[in-house]
Structure 1
Amino acid sequence: MSTNTVIEQNIDWGFLERYLAERDPHFARHWELLREARASLEENIIVSRGETGQTIASSFAERVERLRYQLLHEREEVLDGEDFRAAEMLDLLFARLSGQGDRTPRRAIQVVHDESVAAEAVAQLEACLDRQRPLEDVLASARRLTREHFAVSPTVHGGREQDQAGPNGSTGWRVLVYAPLYLSSYCVNYCLYCGFRFPEKVPRRWLTTEEALEQAQILTNRGMRHILLVAGDYPQKTDVEYYSEIIRAIRGQFPVSLAVEIAPQSTAGYAALVEAGIIGVTLYQETYDWQLYQHFHPRGPKSHYAWRLEGLERAAEGGVKRLGLGILLGLGDPLPDAKAMVRHAAYLKERFADRRIAFSLPRIHEGPADFVIPHPVDDETLIRLYCGLRHAFPQAELVLSTREPPSLRDLLAQTCITQMSAASSTVPGGYRAGAEAVEDQDGGQFPVVDRRPVEEVVAMLRDAGHHVTWQVPEFAPVTK
């Protein structure tokens, strides 16, 4: 079957024209774009998919991708089967324009609330959250699964590290220690819970490439070999070119792996970041409940639910190898959000079987002065959620930040965590050189609760029997 036949079968151009004419106030302009994109793609086929033809066709790809999300956003309150059908056809067109061929259309927006998806994994999560099940049983089971899937032979580290006795005499597992590096606190979003939201009167800072390199130097001097680059959403200051320049500069000077926790990018944008040198993307949906999502994100680009939801899918299509999901605990009922996140992860893993999945459960302890946490989550629920994710996804990375107090971090590190930050600052330029330096926390995105120095966190992990690694396993872990 020719490629042209596949296009005609899978994309109903007559339906798309009628759909846009009925539901899109910008029908004339958008239909002209689709007509030109179709002609470009068909011309590309006529010239036997030569390099020039492919370049012409791909020049329309990002515009078609943006159109798809614009239509989903404009009709979020009334989405129906016709909207989803149009979205799938536009995604098919985008895939072919961008050289991805005949892949299955994106369907995350339908999947995350489909109770038939990942039913067994969701059941494992729910079982851990059942308060009738003793917490000690849940902890023991999660510890066993983590040890089973993340235990490391000391020979992996060239014999530099020996097995140690962990809890109850057991051997631990590998734990990656990392640090966030905040590049900018400027943000155009109005997220009600965030210290970086646009209306907040906080000191703002944006790092130059040279300043980012200075911060990276401090972190690498502490042993860090995996750095998470973080920034608010402010396109005038933090675009793909800005991130790419910093990524290339850091990678050029330091033996580190890099991931990003930034505003969602287009597929082409993520591909550019991969080319620059990132291996991972962390993108929290915050809440999968659409109505709650709209309430907590009233203005700004982040108000676009579908654009954020499918960000990790675009990242994977752009070549990102490690995909980090998360929900912000405190916004809504954690169980339905966690179930939706498990479905989302299962969907991503099915589509991108070779990608590494990671989960994080950031919890709101305090927010801006006028923000009241609507659904506080207690310690036991947080523990059960992490254990539930270990049961639902035994091979997933579980990540824990310095939002939580030392005692709770220690318990979770001894139970199921495989990646944790240490001595973090959530302020751009917040790291200070010197052994006795105290990180700047004034104007940070959220309060850092665990302020122990890196050495103390590492000592805790080793006392628990773990193998401390400083780079992701795919990048030849280095022990210290």
Structure 2
Amino acid sequence: MENFQHFLQNWPADRRSRGTAAATSDKVCAVLEKDVLQPADFLTLLSPAAQPHLEAMARKARELTLRYFGRAVNIFTPLYISDVCTNQCRYCGFNAKNKQPRRHLSVDEACAEARAIADMGFQHILLLTGDAPKLSSPLYIASVVRRIKPLFASIGIEVYSLTQAEYALLLEAGVDSMTMFQETYNPELYAWLHPVGPKHDYAFRLNAPERAAAAGMRSLGLGALLGLESFEQDAFATGLHAWWLQRNFPGVDVSVSIPRICPHEGDFDVQHAVDDRHLVQYVTAMRCFLPRAGITCSSRESAFMRNHLVPIGVTRVSAGVSTAVGGRATEDKHNPGQFEISDRRSLAEMTAALAGIGYQAVLKDWEDPAA
């Protein structure tokens, strides 16, 4: 099977630029009349020509979301178990050059944090680490997963890129989903943004979701960090990646995250900031292109923005979020976290907010058949 890296070469940056430049208002309207969209149609919906049609795009996106997801919104929370990192990503608070307190939880400490989260009512949890494979090894992550698995219906990981055998190890331990942000799909920009550390390997990261799928992972999440590259370039590549995964791994659930770059420890000049209208355009275009794909919106976005994105496409949100290691049940040593969060609502507050706009919070939508 041709991997996604090779497939993406069919859509080089200049082809994407020509596609958005050639889009017209009439083409946008024609795309919105289609039942099944192709990649070129998705590119049209991401173009400047689609901006005057956001209301029509939102209406179609809302209809598709209700058709395929109803009024259910899944809620999860992250658990950072280590922020020790060997990378020097220019935009990230975990950058190894940033002089800040670091922490790596023992398995017992991670279990204590997980119990505190479970006591809040969460059933879906996402484990995160920095990229320090010798310390936060797959065996360490698997040990944490085995200890906390009885507490949750679903455990996902958002860690560094792994081999297929390492994903299989974590699957056996109890992980059922993985999230991998490519950050940017521009290989030259990617190399500049990740000058030092194992994350420098663009191709190994790009092909991680398909290795996870081949290992048997039931759910894949992916995304670009919006603001690193121009909107149309990375927005299109992200949707194309999800589309390719759906076609090549039809039994796997594929979802897309929509993070915009946030302030963090360190200094990074955002060259391609994505405004609210473009974020709405992205969500609605993605829903029209991939009607069955989940769309995740994290606490990077404000409560106001997340409340308004749910009806037009977002199907998964976080709550009760901390991006620091520890702090719920163990001392956090004033760890500043990976990035600043905007929406600090608790699980109860998020549940109530969703009910207030006519949606139901779903805490458990997956049961491990082996449990």
C-alpha separation in 2, matches of 1:431 and 1:390 = 35
What does residue 24 of structure 2 align with?
A: none
Amino acid at match of 1:362: P
Specify whether residues 134 and 351 from structure 1 end up closer, same or farther in structure 2 by C-alpha distance, changes over 3 A only: closer
- Of 173, 177, 180, the residue aligned with 1:283 is 180
Structure 2 residue 269 is the aligned partner of structure 1 residue 372: yes
**Between the two proteins, what is the percent identity of the paired residues?**
35
Q: How far 1:134 sits from its partner (Å)? A: 3.1
What does residue 427 of structure 1 align with?
A: 324
Q: How far 1:471 sits from its partner (Å)? A: 2.1
- Of 79, 100, 111, the residue aligned with 1:181 is 79
Amino acid at match of 1:284: F
What does residue 236 of structure 2 align with?
A: 339
Q: How far 1:131 sits from its partner (Å)? A: 4.3
What does residue 363 of structure 1 align with?
A: 260
Question: 5+ residue gaps in structure 1?
Answer: 1-103, 152-172, 434-438
Specify whether residues 133 and 189 from structure 1 end up closer, same or farther in structure 2 by C-alpha distance, changes over 3 A only: same
- Of 311, 319, 326, the residue aligned with 1:414 is 311
C-alpha separation in 2, matches of 1:211 and 1:127 = 47
- Of 127, 132, 154, the residue aligned with 1:257 is 154
Structure 2 residue 28 is the aligned partner of structure 1 residue 110: no
Per-residue CA deviations over 1:310-331 (Å, capped at 9, x if unaligned) read: 0011101111010101000110
What does residue 158 of structure 1 align with?
A: none
C-alpha separation in 2, matches of 1:338 and 1:377 = 11
What does residue 67 of structure 2 align with?
A: 148
Per-residue CA deviations over 1:84-105 (Å, capped at 9, x if unaligned) read: xxxxxxxxxxxxxxxxxxxx2x
Contact 2:125 2:152 in 1 (8 A): no
- Of 254, 276, 282, the residue aligned with 1:385 is 282
Amino acid at match of 1:448: I
Per-residue CA deviations over 1:90-137 (Å, capped at 9, x if unaligned) read: xxxxxxxxxxxxxx2x42112124239997144135325544433222
Contact 2:102 2:335 in 1 (8 A): no
What does residue 225 of structure 1 align with?
A: 123
C-alpha separation in 2, matches of 1:428 and 1:265 = 22
Structure 2 residue 41 is the aligned partner of structure 1 residue 123: yes
Aligned residues: 345
Amino acid at match of 1:127: L
Q: How far 1:141 sits from its partner (Å)? A: 1.4
Specify whether residues 276 and 234 from structure 1 end up closer, same or farther in structure 2 by C-alpha distance, changes over 3 A only: same
Q: How far 1:147 sits from its partner (Å)? A: 0.3
Give SS of 2:73's match: strand
Q: How far 1:276 sits from its partner (Å)? A: 0.3
Using the size of structure 2 for normalisation, the TM-score is 0.88
C-alpha separation in 2, matches of 1:428 and 1:113 = 38
Specify whether residues 209 and 122 from structure 1 end up closer, same or farther in structure 2 by C-alpha distance, changes over 3 A only: farther
Contact 2:298 2:318 in 1 (8 A): yes
What does residue 359 of structure 2 align with?
A: 466
C-alpha separation in 2, matches of 1:295 and 1:348 = 27
For the pair shown, the structure with the greater C-alpha radius of gyration is 1
C-alpha separation in 1, matches of 2:333 and 2:65 = 34
Specify whether residues 366 and 179 from structure 1 end up closer, same or farther in structure 2 by C-alpha distance, changes over 3 A only: same
Contact 1:125 1:391 in 2 (8 A): no
Amino acid at match of 2:62: R
C-alpha separation in 2, matches of 1:122 and 1:230 = 34
Structure 2 residue 362 is the aligned partner of structure 1 residue 444: no
C-alpha separation in 1, matches of 2:43 and 2:121 = 35
C-alpha separation in 2, matches of 1:371 and 1:257 = 34
Contact 1:125 1:392 in 2 (8 A): no
Specify whether residues 216 and 301 from structure 1 end up closer, same or farther in structure 2 by C-alpha distance, changes over 3 A only: same
Amino acid at match of 1:134: H
Amino acid at match of 1:404: E
C-alpha separation in 2, matches of 1:309 and 1:122 = 21
Per-residue CA deviations over 1:37-73 (Å, capped at 9, x if unaligned) read: xxxxxxxxxxxxxxxxxxxxxxxxxxxxxxxxxxxxx
C-alpha separation in 2, matches of 1:306 and 1:350 = 20
Using the size of structure 1 for normalisation, the TM-score is 0.69
Amino acid at match of 1:276: A
Give SS of 2:181's match: coil
Per-residue CA deviations over 1:282-310 (Å, capped at 9, x if unaligned) read: 00101000111011011110010110000
Q: How far 1:432 sits from its partner (Å)? A: 5.3
What does residue 53 of structure 2 align with?
A: 134
C-alpha separation in 1, matches of 2:246 and 2:50 = 29
Contact 2:46 2:236 in 1 (8 A): no
Give SS of 2:81's match: strand
Specify whether residues 312 and 212 from structure 1 end up closer, same or farther in structure 2 by C-alpha distance, changes over 3 A only: same
Q: How far 1:193 sits from its partner (Å)? A: 0.2
Q: How far 1:473 sits from its partner (Å)? A: 4.2
Contact 1:441 1:448 in 2 (8 A): no
- Of 281, 291, 294, the residue aligned with 1:394 is 291
Question: 5+ residue gaps in structure 2?
Answer: 17-35
